[in-house]
Amino acid sequence: MDNPFSADQADDADRELVTRAQAGDRQALDELITRHQPWIYNLAVRILYTAENAEDASQDILLQMMTGIRTFRGESKFRTWLYRLAANHILNFKKKWAAAEPAFTFEWFAGDLDATGLADLPDPRTVPVPVEVLIEEAKISCTTAMLLCLDGRQRLVYTLGEIFGVSDSVGAEVVGITPANFRQILARARRDLYSFLEGKCGLVNESNPCRCPKKIRGFMQRGYLKPDKLQFAGRHCRRVREVASSRGDELLDASHRLSAALYQEHPFLEPPPELVRKALAGVSPGWPD
């Protein structure tokens, strides 16, 4: 899978597809969707957390892309136009909370983790999936929810810069800020997130008592983890690190490198197949007229 943020040749391919799509070529439009849909969906998941929210936002973004591509004149790269559209839509998303704001504080998150307690693994005979899958789900859901302690723009910049490995120049284009501001926001997000991980997470600091297997029972009791409705584990065929670039050379501190690796080990989620069909259904039969 091509990383749309990593190479200029990706923009060249986009430019050709856009030209064909603007001329009414539905196959070119479908190829554009196929190229960018997974990245839009994975960006939405990191900012909005739930699959339901990410699917709703992604469908809206794809529809906006398909209807707006007629007026795209190439003043910027298509990538910049599309992902700025995606970022603005996601940050304006509002359901139980406004995506532009933190859902909760690191202090609250720490207290909630402590209140969940530690317990033995559930009996494998009492759960519908292997216990190893539940451990993976607990790890990914906890660290993804942790991102919600950042404000929306920090989550956006962190996802682009740290998880997807986007350069500060490309990230700045998408967010609509200067490269210097992108680096500053990324540095603050890293600092706050890594400080929390260093103080609470046993995956980053072995002296911390928190362990994913010992949180499963508590997460299930609180409704954070539903064995019959997994959000993350099993819905992927690759890791983020396999499709995204790395900014490891910028991370000199060992704990920072370990924390970054934790997020790049997250799954690169496969969007539901019906997402494209739903978006395409929203385009008028006479498209692109």
d(C-alpha 89, C-alpha 68), whole Å = 14
Decide if 28 is inside a domain. Answer: yes
The reported pLDDT for the residue numbered 39 is 95
pTM: 0.89
Check residues 15 and 250 and name the one with the higher pLDDT. 15
In a domain, 221, yes or no: yes
Q: Has residue 93 been placed in a domain?
A: yes
For residues 5-32, average pLDDT? 85
What was the pLDDT predicted at 74?
84
Average pLDDT over residues 14-38: 92
Q: Which two tokens stand for residue 203?
A: 């995956």
CB 196 within 8 A of CB 204: no
Structurally, the chain folds into a number of domains equal to 1
Task: Give the pLDDT confidence of 103-131 residue by residue, as tens digits.
Answer: 999 999 999 999 999 999 999 999 999 99
In angstroms, the CA 159 to CA 147 distance is: 9
C-alpha to C-alpha distances, 274 to 26, 205, 271, 277, 279, nearest whole angstrom: 17, 40, 8, 5, 9
Burial (Cβ within 10 Å: 0-12, 13-18, ≥19) of residue 286: exposed
What is the CATH classification number for the domain harbouring 207?
Answer: 1.20.140.160
The per-residue pLDDT for 289 is 56
Q: Is residue 3 situated within a structural domain? A: no
Do the domain assignments include residue 2? Answer: no
Percent over 70 (pLDDT), the chain = 88
Whole-angstrom Cα distance, residue 48 to residue 32? 23
Per-residue confidence (pLDDT) for residue 170, from 0 to 100 = 92
- Judge contact between 144 and 45, C-beta under 8 A: yes
Q: For residue 288, is it within any domain? A: no
- Does residue 64 carry a pLDDT above 80? yes
C-alpha to C-alpha distance for 225 and 122, rounded to whole angstroms: 13
What is the tens place of the pLDDT at every residue in 145-176? 999 999 999 999 999 999 999 999 999 999 99
- Of the candidate ranges 2-16, 129-143, 215-229, the one whose mean pLDDT is the lowest: 2-16
Q: Say which DSSP state 105 is in.
A: -
**Residue with more model confidence, 231 or 157:** 157
252 within 8 A of 13, measured Cβ to Cβ:
no
User: Mean per-residue pLDDT for 58-80?
Assistant: 91
Give me the phi and psi of 104, to 5 degrees please: -160, 175
- Comparing CA positions, the residue from 184, 273, 227, 244 lying closest to residue 5 is 244
Asked whether residue 48 is domain-assigned, the answer is: yes
DSSP class of residue 75 equals S
C-alpha–C-alpha distance, residues 105 and 219, integer Å = 19
pLDDT in the model for residue 274: 75
Burial letters for 179-207: b for 16+ Cβ neighbours within 10 Å, e otherwise?
Answer: eebbbebbeebbeebbebbbebbebbeee
Residue 274 covered by a domain: yes
Which range of residues forms the domain containing residue 241?
Answer: 8-281
Long-range contacts of 128-135 (CB under 8 A, 24+ apart): 128/227, 128/228, 129/227, 129/230, 129/233, 129/234, 131/213, 131/216, 133/230, 133/233, 133/234, 134/216, 134/225, 134/227, 134/233, 135/212, 135/213, 135/216
Average pLDDT over residues 234-238: 63
Least confident piece of the model among 95-99, 161-165, 205-209, 216-220: 95-99
